[in-house]
Amino acid sequence: MTEEIGFMVKLRDGAQMIADACQEFLEAKSPVKESKQLACVSEQTFNILKFDPQEGAKLGAYDVAYKANNLEDKWTQAFNILRQNNSTIKARYHGQGYVYSYWLYGENKVYRQALKKK
């Protein structure tokens, strides 16, 4: 009987370890957590790009950096940061001290718009 109880305790402990590991994994992949981790790079990564000013009826003033008008490695680095962070017009990439917010839309374009001052 004692061996059976010991076996059951080991099974219970093993199952708890698996459950804890699953919980940690899910928390690490949570979209809420990812959005809080935005902007771990310097804004200089984006400012090095050549942006062309644009004006839109809904957006107002904004800028677009075209892949063809920029150095390949600099543009690709900025693009990959935005892609990895799922940056869209509704979920823009920016951090503390940033002057602009950044996002992707369409192919071979990086967008930015000045943040509103508080």
Cα separation, 76 vs 72, in Å, equals 6
Helices (H), 29-94: 31-36, 44-47, 72-84
Q: Tens digits of per-residue pLDDT, 52-108?
A: 999 999 999 999 999 999 999 999 999 999 999 999 999 999 998 999 999 999 899
Which residue did the predictor score with more confidence, 35 or 96?
96
The pLDDT value recorded for residue 6 is: 82
Give the pair of three-digit tokens for residue 19.
């459950």
* Single pTM value for the model: 0.66
The pLDDT value recorded for residue 37 is: 44
